[in-house]
Amino acid sequence: MEYSPRFRAFPTTGQRESLDWTRDIVRQVYNHALHEFNKIPENKGTLRQRVWQVRDTLPNLKQWWTDLNKVYSTVLQKAVERIRTNINNLGKLKAKGYDVGSLNWKAPREYRSFTYRQSGFELDKKSGPRDRAILRLKKVRGETLEIPIRLHRDLPEHDAIKEVTVKKESTGAWYASFCISTDEPEKPEPEDIDSEDTVGLDLGVLNFIHDSKGRSIDRLDLSDERERLEREQRSLSRKQYESNNWQKQRRCVAEVHARMSNKKRDYKHKIAHFYATTYDAVFVENLNVKSLLESGGNARNKHEVGWSDFRQILEHHCDKHGTHYVEVPAQGTTKECAKCGCESEKPLWVREHSCPSCGFELDRDWNAALNVKSCGLSELGVVHSKATPVETATAVDTLSVSASRVVEAGSSVLKERTAQAVSE
């Protein structure tokens, strides 16, 4: 599996200038390549072939654009190949129903990274103090830079580092990402999994997660950061655009955004790591996040939760630790009773599940998590027991029952009342 750990880099002032210079040169190469790519008709080859036609012009381009000789060759090639990656990503968004346009030129503030592929870099973990390393990058403004980085965790076992991406965040901080390939651990066979070693997750708004074991995980409280963001944003709006004070305040706003994003990402990674290392299979509902965000009411809380981001992180941790990850349809998980399977309509403000058929009472989200687990076990093929629906007055429909027609489960006069209801 592909794995890209990211580490903080600490370049000196001179190294920052060289990195910024290289980043801007690579940006200009990307814009030039995009201009040349747009002039090639679509019938002149596939997307890959047309991108390669532009990439093959780099040697001739270096003859009159001498600054390119101070940049490593694979960095320039990767910048041209980014056109193909961006077009493929736009195609994926278009397939999901998004209205996408075409690629545009990148402004200096929009192009933040450049990538070394296979060669031109070296990671020296033996130099420097503990938890530090030296990243050597060749031909950065014509010279080799030795940049200190913080190794806050060890790299997983790998044969070689495929790529190194150096990126400057909007806060001004530099990071280095290493693309490596690791062996994906084997997952247990479904027939060998005990249903007790599995868990179902219900994603909510009031609570971040409610699992089938009864645990309720609250949402991350970011009220203090949100208030500070509002103050910093108001201060930014009073500055003259593109002035020195505006640039300084913009970095303050970016730092607040980065702090909030880091907290949310760290929170999700820790939760995902817990479930991936504790259970053999994790089942989660496949919410239609796009339709939920487009619906009215509570939009900020829905967007801030980040359901799609958490599902991607959870899937990554499950693949990393050899745990089955299964997404089940979210339809009906809230309405169905986890004990008998009967459906009952519940408005959003009703937070308790009370089955009108069998009388089963439980927290609304906990009941949904049990349904998610049951559907996941069936989809994965794990042998498990499931309670049969209770006997009801409306025998023609065992899935959805009107509350006014339900007979209490276990009643001594059940059959007599059922016969009376049928005769009516």
**Domain locations in the chain as residue ranges:** 2-181, 190-380, 391-424
Asked if residue 281 lies in contact with residue 326, where contact means CB atoms within 8 angstroms, the answer is yes
**Distance of alpha carbon 259 from alpha carbon 186, whole angstroms:** 36
Mean pLDDT, the chain, integer: 82
Give the 3-state DSSP-derived string for the chain, with helices as H, strands as E and coil as C: CEECCEEEECCCHHHHHHHHHHHHHHHHHHHHHHHHHHCCCHHHCCHHHHHHHHHCCHHHHHHHCHHHHHECHHHHHHHHHHHHHHHHHHHHHHHCCCCCCCCCCCCCCCCCEEEEECCCEEEECCCCCCCEEEEEEEEECCEEEEEEEECCCCCCCCCCEEEEEEEECCCCCEEEEEEEECCCCCCCCHHHCCHHHEEEEEECCCEEEEECCCCEEECCCCHHHHHHHHHHHHHHHCCCCCCHHHHHHHHHHHHHHHHHHHHHHHHHHHHHHHHHHHCCEEEEEECCHHHHHHCCCCHHHHHHHCHHHHHHHHHHHHHHHCCEEEEEECCCCCCECCCCCCECCCCCCCCEEECCCCCCEEEHHHHHHHHHHHHHHHHHCCCCCCCCCCCCCCCCCCCECCHHHCCCCCCCCHHHHHHHHHHC
| 180 φψ region: left (φ > 0), alpha (ψ -120 to 50), beta (else) | beta
**pLDDT recorded at residue 395:** 32
Asked if residue 206 lies in contact with residue 302, where contact means CB atoms within 8 angstroms, the answer is no
CA dihedral 324, 325, 326, 327 (to 10 degrees): 180
Confidence of residue 347 (pLDDT cuts 50, 70, 90): low
Digit-coded pLDDT (tens) for 97-106: 888 888 999 9
Confidence of residue 301 (pLDDT cuts 50, 70, 90): low
Residue 72 has pLDDT above 90, yes or no: yes
Asked if residue 358 lies in contact with residue 342, where contact means CB atoms within 8 angstroms, the answer is yes
Mean pLDDT in residue range 281-290: 79
| CATH number for the domain running over 190-380 | 3.30.420
Residue 159 has pLDDT above 70, yes or no: yes
395 burial (CB, 10 Å; 0-12 / 13-18 / 19+) is exposed
Mean pLDDT in residue range 147-164: 87
More confident residue, 424 or 326: 326
Digit-coded pLDDT (tens) for 217-253: 888 888 899 999 999 999 999 999 989 999 999 999 9
Closest to 161 (Cα-Cα) out of 184, 135, 179: 179
Digit-coded pLDDT (tens) for 122-133: 999 887 777 889
Instruction: State the amino acid at position 372 in one-letter form.
Output: V
Confidence of residue 408 (pLDDT cuts 50, 70, 90): very low
Residue 195 has pLDDT above 90, yes or no: no
**Distance of alpha carbon 271 from alpha carbon 316, whole angstroms:** 12
Mean pLDDT in residue range 26-36: 96
Asked if residue 248 lies in contact with residue 341, where contact means CB atoms within 8 angstroms, the answer is no
Distances (CA, A) of 117 to 76, 114, 127, 164: 10, 10, 23, 7
39 burial (CB, 10 Å; 0-12 / 13-18 / 19+) is exposed
